[in-house]
Amino acid sequence: MVMDKGLSIRQVEDFLETSAEYTDIVKLGWATSFVTPNLKEKLAVYKSAGIPVYFGGTLFEAFIVRNQFDEYRRVLDQFGMEYAEVSDGSLEMEQDDKCEYIRTLCQQVTVLSEVGSKDEAKIIPPYKWIKLMKMELEAGAWKVIGEAREGGNVGLFRSSGEVRQGLVEEILTEIPEEKIIWEAPQKAQQVWFVKLVGANVNVGNIAPHEVISLET
């Protein structure tokens, strides 16, 4: 999963020329899609390359905190989105409510759900990560995403960027590896996951200019 933080249409074309073959899905980071000019034209470029795109979970949260879930669903339709991310990294949300959002959106799009907080002071114990991931997959999520933010310094990782190794290994005892996308923006993190899971590990928040080097 590659993170587009506001690429121009020309930059998207250049990125796809070299890296489309190695990219499975693109996230328009957090709420950047909402202030990106020519969004429809940009989405069309990705679509022509056969690359699915979704809006970052923070945009979903921005609608939820304003009680605008139906408006969010209309935005997905307006832009012809086939995927959506459900997350609660920046706000407090009851888990039952989150699962209900997943169940509802599943009738409209393919849902990715993100587990973990963007607040580095909020340490979630492994058993709870597993419980939340199971609940969200059962609610209909296609894959669950392990939170790390754009910088790779919260959630799955310590503030230094070091992997919370025990957490990851415990999650993998209960959740199938193919159901998880690990956000791993830093090279050392990517290497760690490749060594642990293998070359087909699902990693996310990859910078567009680093896709080729990650593939090697």
> How is residue 61 written in tokens?
């949260």
Q: What is the pLDDT of residue 123?
A: 80
Say how far apart CA 140 and CA 9 lie, in whole Å: 33
Q: What is the pLDDT of residue 129?
A: 95
Count of beta carbons in the 10 Å neighbourhood of residue 29? 19
* Statement: residue 150 has pLDDT above 90: no
| Arithmetic mean of pLDDT, 54-77 | 97
| Arithmetic mean of pLDDT, 107-118 | 94
| Arithmetic mean of pLDDT, 9-27 | 98
| Arithmetic mean of pLDDT, 70-89 | 97
* Statement: residue 177 has pLDDT above 90: yes
Count of beta carbons in the 10 Å neighbourhood of residue 18? 13
* Statement: residue 117 has pLDDT above 90: no
| Cα–chain center distance at 208 | 15
How far CA 8 is from CA of 4, 40, 41, 42, 167, in Å, comes to 10, 12, 10, 8, 37
| 12 touches 4 (CB < 8 A) | yes
